[in-house]
């Protein structure tokens, strides 16, 4: 949804633990974690982090505002069917659109 520079908080704020109502782990193994994400209109995500190499698939159009830990903001507009690759990020997100956002987030795990 958004991309901001990596911060030192990046490894500590797991969105599935901070807000399990929005983030549902649907597959997890030694290699990756697949997360089903739903964000209602006007809903805000708490501050959370994603590792390097995150793949996001948009099931719906998404109009979002991201807020970095330093307070800087960035708006993103993604279309249903779009795929995004992300670098590591710590951010808050807000659905600034008029409909629910539904995404699939694939997070890689460190190789063992």
Q: How much is the pLDDT for 9? A: 39
Work out the number of other CB atoms within 10 angstroms of the CB of residue 79.
Answer: 9
Contact 104, 59 (CB under 8 A): yes
pTM, to two decimals: 0.83
pLDDT score of 66: 93
**How is 19-30 classified by DSSP, letter by letter?**
-TTTEEEEEE-S
- pLDDT category at 5 given cuts 50, 70, 90 is very low
CATH architecture of the domain 15-108 equals Sandwich (2.60)
Residue 8 pLDDT: 40
DSSP helix/strand/coil, 55 = strand
What band does 111 get if pLDDT is binned at 50, 70 and 90? Answer: low
pLDDT tens-digit series, residues 9-58: 334 588 888 888 899 999 999 999 999 999 999 999 989 988 888 999 99
Judge residue 1's burial from the number of C-beta atoms within 10 Å of its C-beta, 0-12 exposed, 13-18 middle, 19 or more buried. buried
């Amino acid at each position: 949804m958004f991309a901001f520079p990596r911060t030192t908080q990046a490894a500590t704020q797991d969105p599935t633990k901070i807000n399990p109502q929005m983030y549902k782990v649907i597959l997890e193994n030694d290699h990756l974690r697949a997360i089903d994400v739903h964000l209602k209109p006007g809903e805000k995500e708490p501050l959370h982090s994603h590792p390097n190499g995150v793949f996001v698939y948009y099931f719906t159009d998404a109009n979002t505002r991201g807020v970095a830990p330093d307070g800087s903001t960035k708006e993103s507009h993604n279309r249903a069917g779009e795929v995004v690759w992300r670098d590591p990020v710590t951010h808050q997100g807000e659905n600034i659109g008029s409909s629910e956002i539904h995404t699939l987030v694939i997070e890689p795990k460190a190789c063992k």
